[in-house]
Structure 1
Amino acid sequence: MLKDKNAKPAIDLLQSRFSGVLDFVTIYNDVEDQLAQFLVAEGVLIRDEMTKYADLAKSYSSCIQVFPKNAFDKSYKVADDLYVNGIKNIQVPQESVYDTELCRVLVNWIVKAGGIEVDGQWHIVENCDNRRNKHLYSNIVITADHQRIVLELLATATQNDLDEHFKSVLKYAELLSADEIWIVHFMCEDGYTARKLHWPLNDKINVIHFFHNRRMLNVLMNARYADSNCTIKFIVDQVVPLQS
């Protein structure tokens, strides 16, 4: 990615603002901030504030900004019951694409900052009396010294799919003794943000819906989550700026 000609502005920023500096550098300019996020996603820079990991909704949004567009050419599923671009049974990116890219960016951002682990496809064994044990897999688990966060991802899911994951993520959180739960839903369905969004009844489950077109050129974020004071907050139709 850094060899791409489009990466030149980021390399110029690296040389002018970060070269030879041993401490963290504060960025105030929006353009420079996007370039710095690109460098962090590539593992060249480390984010200072990510070690605090206070605003996860903002963190996920920042991750989306640096997703490579060609990643969405690699793996598809068919959206059977949903309309995308006015058509049913059309191909849309499947969960593994989002899982891989989100995990990659989180590793580059927070693991290299130290003291935090990011694990994909965490294997969970549920002991069942008089029956065979159940083997479960949580998409992404973030572990710090005194905190564990479970992330469950969905791709262009139906309401029934969401309801099933609302139940399963609570089970994963219980088995992993997690402190925080997130459902991250990536959606290409037509008009998804124009109607009432689907949220869980349990306020312990934080949810983000990312609506985007099939080429990941336009992204809107809607979220419902509990902040550090356990106050429920909403993000409504926030445009996510993307790297060109």
Structure 2
Amino acid sequence: MSLSEEVLEYSTFKRMKDDLLEDHSKSAMKLFQSEFLITFEAVRPTNCNLANFLASEEVLVPDENLPGYFNLSSPLVRWLLLQQIIPKLFSTSPQAEVSYNPFTGTLDILKALKQVVCVFDKEIIKSCNSFKLARVLVNNANNREVPRESVYDAELYRIMSNWLGRFTVMGQWHLKYRASGHINNKYVDIVIARSDHPTIAFKLLASATKKELKEHYKRALIYDKKLSANETWVVHFTCEENAISVPC
């Protein structure tokens, strides 16, 4: 049993888990998924009744200073819902079987990523509250609003958790290592593991500049070395209009 599963069996969280996994909670969890999951800022929900239901389950709390706005109750609750509730309520996965390399038997991660992206919930990505201003050209203009990394992170995690049954998918893997006499604490966005050993690591970006990409390529090499993972990937979700014709 994973740590998040154990936490949800604790009496403080068990009622919340049981209630949220009921079919009648799907609308409220859809609201949470699109408006609260990917931001820690106060949000004015599009449906106050559903937000009040989530507040009664202690998922959200009304903002004391902004009437009509709600906040996440805690990062722990967000983590529990992302890992244990949302994948079960919204169990999307590619129709195809998981692909493996015929020579090594390892997961064919490039093919898997292509299949997973095809079943992303596009409405969630379009309607989410987590936007940033792009520093690359989007729709022939600068400073367009585009989804942040956290939007893609949540969708990738949700679908891979449902689909990769032979593996454990974990988010925010804590990587601690010493370099130049200092202790470094880093968090790898998504790790696919087997028997608690990190097998494949992902560093995600969203509509990044070439400078940011190059910095993350260097960071990925550190992750690869310190994690002893079989593979380390930089996955770039971008709205930049010339990203394919002029790749980095």
Same fold (TM over 0.5): yes
Q: Give the one of 109, 133, 140 matched to 1:56.
A: 109
Alignment of 1:26-175 (within 5 A): 42=91, 48-49=97-98, 54-72=107-125, 73-74=127-128, 75-80=130-135, 82-110=136-164, 113-114=165-166, 116-128=167-179, 130-131=181-182, 133-144=183-194, 148-175=199-226
- Aligned residue pairs total 156
Q: Extract unaligned runs of 5+ from structure 2.
A: 1-22, 28-89
Deviation at 1:147, TM superposition (A): 6.7
RMSD: 2.9
Distance 1:154-1:46 versus aligned 2 partners, 3 A rule: same
More strand by share: 1
- Provide closer, same or farther for how the CA distance between residues 140 and 44 of structure 1 changes in structure 2, counting only shifts above 3 A: closer
Q: Are residues 97 and 44 of structure 1, via their aligned partners in 2, closer, same or farther at CA, if it must alter by over 3 Å?
A: closer
Per the alignment, in what secondary structure is the counterpart of residue 161 of structure 1?
helix
- Identity among equivalent pairs (%): 36
For the structure 1 residues 129 and 184, does the alpha-carbon distance in structure 2 shift closer, same or farther, using more than 3 Å as the test? Answer: closer
- SS of the aligned residue for 2:224 comes to helix
Q: Following TM superposition, by how much is the alpha carbon of 1:194 offset from its aligned partner in structure 2, in angstroms?
A: 2.2
The separation in 2 between residues aligned to 1:147 and 1:120, in whole angstroms, is: 12
Answer yes or no: is the 8 Å Cα contact 1:78–1:89 preserved in 2.
Answer: yes
Check conservation: 1:47, 1:109, Cα contact below 8 A: no
Structure 1: segments with no counterpart, 5+ residues: 5-40, 199-244
Q: TM-score, normalised by structure 2?
A: 0.56
Instruction: Give the whole-Å Cα distance in 2 for the aligned partners of 1:174 and 1:130.
Output: 17
**Residues 1:58 and 1:165: Cα distance change in structure 2 (over 3 Å):** same
Most deviating of 122-131 and 186-195: 122-131
* Alpha-carbon shift at residue 45 of structure 1 (Å): 9.1
- Which structure has greater helix proportion? 2
CA deviation profile, 1:65-94 (whole Å, cap 9, x unmatched): 1111122221111113x1111111111011
